[in-house]
A = this chain, B = another copy of it.
């Protein structure tokens, strides 16, 4: 048996999220589209495992997936090109390579990098409308960065996960949170963490937007975090501003912040996004 690892880029606008769902056609989810294409190539129904269950509308530059196959006649380049050709143009396999048999992209992941993009202007945007969340005002980046700094390190992020999150606990480690100036009126929040609860980056993004628009103080974020109460946090920012940029497997993670060493930074089972 071979296991093939894929790096997948997709435009989330075209899909109802990563995961196959009852009542949806295969092509309406990223996983379904890949599985349907694989079945065409190998004549065998094949399950594709993903590193991250991205929600509807969420984009990916570097989702990682894997599948097992007995098919020896198709090389990795054949899978790379075939899967891109047999799926809609909103889905591209950027790389396919052999992996250790049974390799699992989720269990093996050491971290993930997400980018949340805002459109920071009083007028909306035509060209970024499906890639950035229009916050209907101008964001103050210094305030946002001050707020984001409170989230660095290992914490119990109970206040920043949605009610539907199935993970046993919300202790996670954030290695990096940077607020960056993008082109034109775009502002990006780049988050690197060991693992993420359901909607966590989107709740970070929604809360930081309120800080950036002057509706909350940066210090509120520390209070929200300590409260462990989801109702204290900001809105869940819409999915179309979020992009999964990289799933990290090697030693390229930034050094862990020195604080909060007493909490267990291992991701809990069943985490979201």
- Residues in chain A within 8 A of chain B (CB atoms): 9-11, 59, 61, 80, 84, 89-95, 121, 123-127, 129, 131, 184, 243
Shortest distance from the beta carbon of A120 to any chain B beta carbon, whole Å: 13
The answer for the CA separation of A61 and B119 in the assembled complex, in Å, is 14
6 smallest A-B Cβ distances: which pairs? A92-B126, A9-B126, A11-B126, A10-B126, A90-B126, A94-B123
> Cβ of A9 and Cβ of B125 under 8 Å apart?
yes
Which residues of chain B are near A91, meaning CB under 8 Å? 126
> Cβ of A124 and Cβ of B84 under 8 Å apart?
yes
> Cβ of A9 and Cβ of B94 under 8 Å apart?
no
Q: Which of B89, B123, B124, B125 contacts A126 (CB 8 A)?
A: B89
> Cβ of B123 and Cβ of A80 under 8 Å apart?
yes
> Cβ of A123 and Cβ of B59 under 8 Å apart?
no
> Cβ of A93 and Cβ of B123 under 8 Å apart?
yes
The answer for the CA separation of A270 and B59 in the assembled complex, in Å, is 42
> Cβ of B61 and Cβ of A124 under 8 Å apart?
no
> Cβ of B92 and Cβ of A125 under 8 Å apart?
yes
Closest residue to A88 on the B side, CB-wise?
B126
The answer for the CA separation of A10 and B126 in the assembled complex, in Å, is 5
Which residues of chain B are near A121, meaning CB under 8 Å? 94
Which residues of chain B are near A125, meaning CB under 8 Å? 9, 92
The answer for the CA separation of A84 and B84 in the assembled complex, in Å, is 36
Shortest distance from the beta carbon of A212 to any chain B beta carbon, whole Å: 20
The answer for the CA separation of A124 and B84 in the assembled complex, in Å, is 9
Closest residue to A80 on the B side, CB-wise?
B123
